[in-house]
Structure formats: C-alpha cells, structure tokens
C-alpha cells in the first residue's frame, strides 16, 4: 500500500474565495474604470477585503451582492471604511423562494454620505440637521407649516430634555431655503413601515442606532421633496438599503438600477405620504383650535371633498362656534 497521501482540490470558500474573486483582473479593472484610476481601483478592492475580514457574515455572503454593493459605493466615490462612515456593506439574512435563507449584502449610505454627495453637486451653500428637544419648538404656523425653533444653547441642559423630533435644513446657491421636520412618532412609523426587522422583532439598525437612522431618514426625505437632485444623488437614494442586482449602473447618466429591498415587504412610506399626513394634522389642529367661525373658514380649502372625517370635524366645530355666537 502506498504511503503517499492524496489531496483533493476542494472549492475555496469564505474569505479566500472572495479574495480570489475580487482580485481577478476583470473585477479590479471594473473598479479602476469606475474610479478613473488603476491604483484607486486596486486600493478600493483592498478596502473591501479589509471590511470583509472584520465581518464574518460578509465573508459568507453572496459574492455578487457584495460586489454590486461595493461597486455602487465606488461609483458614488464613497469610502466603505466604517471609521469614515460614508457608506456601508451590510449583511442581511434573506429568505429565498424555496424557504431557505441566504446571506445577501445591502448597500447603505449614511447621513454623512448623503450630505457629502449633495454638497459635491455645487448647488448647496449650507446643509445641516439636528434632533429637536422638548421645549425647542416655539410656534407652528398651522397654515404654512412654518416652524419657529428656540434652541437651547446650554448643551448640558439640552441633553436633559427628551428628543421629540428631527429636522433637516439646506440653502441653495440660488437663495432657496428649505426646512423639513418630522416628529419622533412620524420617524418611528417610517421605521416600522420601511424595516420589517424593526417592525416584527424590534432589532437591527433602527434599534441600535435610532437617532442616526432618524437623521438620515429626514435628510433623505427632505432631499427627495425639495432639493435639485443630481444623477449621483438619485442613485444614492434609489440604491440605499437595497440589494443591487445588476452592475450596469456605472454610467454617470443612468439611474437604471435593479434593486431588491430585502428588509421591506411593503411599499416604504414616501415623502408625499409624510407631507400629506403632516398637512392633514395641521388642518385638524386648526379646526380644534379655532376660536371663531371666520378663523375656522381659513382651512376649508385644505379639506378634501372625500375626507369624510375632516368634513365631520369641521361641521361639528362650526356648529359649536355658532352655538356660542362666535
């Protein structure tokens, strides 16, 4: 009997398989093409492997979804190093059609990354965002929706107050200014609508980093609602928190991205949904706080003909004021 041991050429798995895949000439060439520089492309591939080495779930994730997520970050010229905090490769255990589970990779952009892309467009003079603490809203114009803030200047005092909402502000080079505010309850509703993990189990990034996710949500909806959107920002908004299923989005002109939002079984709440709800809430508050019939009539144009609940509220308030002779 021979004492010579035989070996089998078992297929590579994990980090080794991924390293071979990413270090192939075609993949490195793709990143170099996107970044416009061979050395930058090779450096970006190295950063992907570094991120994978620090996260065991990424090492066992679907290679193609990791590649396309990383390629999106490169296309947007956003580093994926977690310490920089512009963009992230996030593993997500996804149920397949046969009932089995497969680790897929989502592309996620941070609030910092969104602001970076917006400022690069050259159309913004200023961008800022903040949480809003109890006592910092001085007044709300029920008709225009304009909010007057009275910020607590003492940081120590401010930290003792509860967070009641989140606000985003920007000013464009043409002088246009816009502010967008969501209450903490509205953000919570968004989280439960958008993330099934948070809705069902109360876990995930919304649980671990609620304030950061809330700030990003307000910025994202604000940009979608009021900002001029460059192709780059549009790509970021479409691809955020998605598994990206194709790699033909690298052209600077296209936003044709095949995405799957694996953490969202329902249609995510849109900025229009938020705006309509906020407008409706303002009308309800105006009706409830009206002191005279003349004041009450100011909101009549904002009541939809098919909104039976608001019509009833309006009629009840009108009868109440008439009975009081007001």
- DSSP letters, 157-190, are HHHTSPEEEEEEEEEETTS-EEEEEEEHHHHHHH
Please name which of 70, 42, 72, 54 lies closest in space to residue 15, comparing C-alpha atoms: 54
Specify whether the CB–CB gap between 106 and 80 falls below 8 A.
no
266 and 285, same domain (yes or no)? no
Q: CA-CA distance, 233 to 299, in Å (whole number)?
A: 36
Its domain, for residue 285, covers: 274-323
Q: CA-CA distance, 30 to 25, in Å (whole number)?
A: 9
* Rounded average pLDDT over 262-266: 55
Residue 138 has pLDDT above 80, yes or no: yes
Residue 25 has pLDDT above 60, yes or no: yes
**Residue 1 falls inside a structural domain:** no
Residue 14 has pLDDT above 70, yes or no: no
**Residue 3 falls inside a structural domain:** no
Q: Residue 147 is encoded by which pair of tokens?
A: 């909010």
pLDDT value for 275 = 61
242 and 254, same domain (yes or no)? yes
**Residue 240 falls inside a structural domain:** yes
Among residues 273, 293, 309, the one where a domain terminates is 273
**Residue 77 falls inside a structural domain:** yes
* Rounded average pLDDT over 100-107: 88
224 and 251, same domain (yes or no)? yes
54 and 190, same domain (yes or no)? no
- 87-105 as b/e: b if 16+ CB within 10 A: bbbbbbebeeeeeeeebbb
Place 128 in a pLDDT band, splitting at 50, 70 and 90.
very high
Q: How big is the CA angle at 277 (ends 282 and 116), to the nearest 5 degrees? A: 105
- Of the candidate ranges 43-57, 140-154, 285-299, the one whose mean pLDDT is the lowest: 285-299
152 and 89, same domain (yes or no)? no
266 and 278, same domain (yes or no)? no
Query: What's this model's pTM, rounded to 2 decimal places?
Result: 0.72
* Rounded average pLDDT over 219-246: 90
pLDDT value for 279 = 72
- Of the candidate ranges 49-53, 222-226, 256-260, the one whose mean pLDDT is the lowest: 256-260
**Residue 156 falls inside a structural domain:** yes
156 and 206, same domain (yes or no)? yes
Alpha helices in 162-298 (DSSP H): 184-194, 196-201, 205-208, 210-226, 231-239, 271-289, 293-297
Residue 78 has pLDDT above 90, yes or no: yes
HSE at residue 132, side-chain half, CA atoms within 13 A, is 24
115 and 237, same domain (yes or no)? yes
**Residue 299 falls inside a structural domain:** yes
248 and 183, same domain (yes or no)? yes
Among residues 92, 109, 126, the one where a domain terminates is 109
For the chain, how many structural domains are there in total? Answer: 3
User: pLDDT tens digits for 141-191?
Assistant: 878 888 999 999 999 999 999 999 999 999 999 999 999 999 999 999 888
Share of the chain above pLDDT 70, in %: 86
Residue 4 has pLDDT above 50, yes or no: no
60 and 41, same domain (yes or no)? yes
Please name which of 288, 305, 271 lies closest in space to residue 142, comparing C-alpha atoms: 288
167 and 105, same domain (yes or no)? no
157 and 98, same domain (yes or no)? no
User: pLDDT tens digits for 317-326?
Assistant: 888 888 777 6
Among residues 234, 256, 273, the one where a domain terminates is 273
């Amino acid at each position: 009997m021979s004492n010579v041991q035989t070996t089998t050429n078992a297929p590579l798995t994990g980090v080794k398989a991924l390293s071979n895949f990413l270090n192939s000439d075609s993949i490195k060439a793709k990143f170099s093409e996107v970044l416009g520089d061979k050395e930058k492309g090779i450096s970006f591939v190295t950063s992907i492997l570094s991120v994978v080495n620090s996260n065991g779930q990424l090492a066992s994730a679907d290679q193609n979804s990791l590649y396309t997520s990383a390629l999106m970050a490169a296309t947007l010229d956003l580093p994926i190093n977690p310490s920089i905090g512009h963009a992230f490769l996030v593993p997500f255990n996804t149920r397949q059609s046969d009932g089995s589970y497969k680790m897929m990779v989502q592309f996620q952009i941070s609030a910092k990354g969104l602001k970076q892309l917006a400022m690069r467009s050259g159309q913004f003079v200023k961008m800022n965002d903040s949480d809003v603490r109890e006592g910092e809203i001085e007044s709300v114009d029920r008709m225009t929706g304009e909010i007057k803030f009275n910020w607590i200047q003492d940081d120590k005092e401010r930290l003792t107050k509860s967070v009641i909402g989140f606000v985003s502000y920007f000013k464009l080079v043409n002088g246009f200014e816009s502010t967008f505010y969501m209450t903490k309850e509205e953000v919570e509703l968004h989280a439960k609508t958008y993330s099934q993990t948070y809705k069902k189990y109360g876990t995930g990034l919304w649980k671990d980093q609620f304030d950061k996710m809330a700030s990003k949500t307000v910025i994202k909806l604000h940009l979608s609602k009021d900002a001029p959107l460059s192709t780059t920002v549009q790509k970021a908004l479409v691809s955020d928190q998605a598994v990206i299923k194709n790699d033909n989005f690298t052209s600077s002109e296209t936003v044709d991205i095949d995405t799957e939002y694996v953490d969202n079984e329902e249609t995510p709440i849109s900025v229009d949904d938020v705006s309509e709800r906020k407008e409706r809430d303002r009308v309800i508050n105006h009706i409830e706080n009206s002191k005279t019939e003349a004041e009450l009539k100011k909101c009549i144009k904002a009541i939809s003909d098919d909104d039976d609940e608001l019509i009833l509220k309006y009629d009840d308030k009108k009868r109440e004021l008439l009975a009081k002779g007001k």
